[in-house]
Amino acid sequence: MYRFASLTFQAKLTPEVFLLIKLKKERTHQEDRRLALWLATSAGLLNAIALGAFGFFPSHMTGNTSQLSSEVSSTDLNDIIFFGSIILAFVTGAILARIIVIWGIIHNIRLVFCQILFVEGLLLTGISVYEMYFHALTSNRTIIIFLCGLMGIHNSTSTQLSSGRVRSTHITGTLTDAGISLASVVVAMLRRDYSKDTAAQKSQLKTHLTTLFSFITGGIAGLLLFRWIGFNAMLALGVILALVSVCSMITIAVRVRKVRAALGR
């Protein structure tokens, strides 16, 4: 697997290569916005497709936690177990993604994020094929729990890759961060403050707005696609996730070889 030992070597690669890899240098907001366009859109797509298929949002952990509290008060054991499993699956997905990333960092494997998204794409493809050929109402809750786990992996991956600036499924947090950035920018404009901090807040606001726009756009497209082609929409998303990850790994491998050849390594 390809390892990148120096910033000098990394600098020879174009910014587009860095979409799904973690650098030793800090990522730029432009790179994070590209990341948001891809991962937040795909999260919105999957969330909306799941709503169309199962009547349930797999990424909406705030609502699911509230629903769990409601079910506890009504003492419905089956629903308590279901909503508890949903939350546990999401957290487990996030934990699993973090453990894999730590492993990648320890072994200096910067393609670990590509690998995670590739596996996520394969799992989503498998779920889609299963639903297309073996769909049964009795398995809906199991599939929902599995999708929540994938959402946990997805959100954890984007959060770690962007150092917390892009949360592909956590729209409540993104809206809060966008409000904070907007307030900072407005106050800075009123005070005629043109410092680097103000410029950074503007860039961060653009990143948050890109994430929100991407998630909303993905959600609209997801519902329309599911109504049009059913579970084929989920299948297509899984295949695209896997293909983009593979293409990223191949592109990086090819360009690394070219740079190494140019540097005489």
Average pLDDT over residues 127-149: 90
pLDDT of residue 22: 56
pLDDT digits (tens, 9 = 90+) for 162-189: 877 888 888 888 899 999 999 988 998 8
Token duo for residue 4: 């990148």
Where does 162-231 have alpha helices with state H?
A: 171-190, 196-229
Whole-angstrom Cα distance, residue 149 to residue 236?
Answer: 19
Highest mean pLDDT among 9-23, 124-138, 221-235: 221-235
Average pLDDT over residues 28-55: 89
pLDDT digits (tens, 9 = 90+) for 194-252: 777 888 888 889 999 999 999 999 999 999 999 999 999 999 999 999 999 998 888 88
pTM: 0.83
- Among 248, 254, 222, residue whose Cα is nearest residue 237: 222
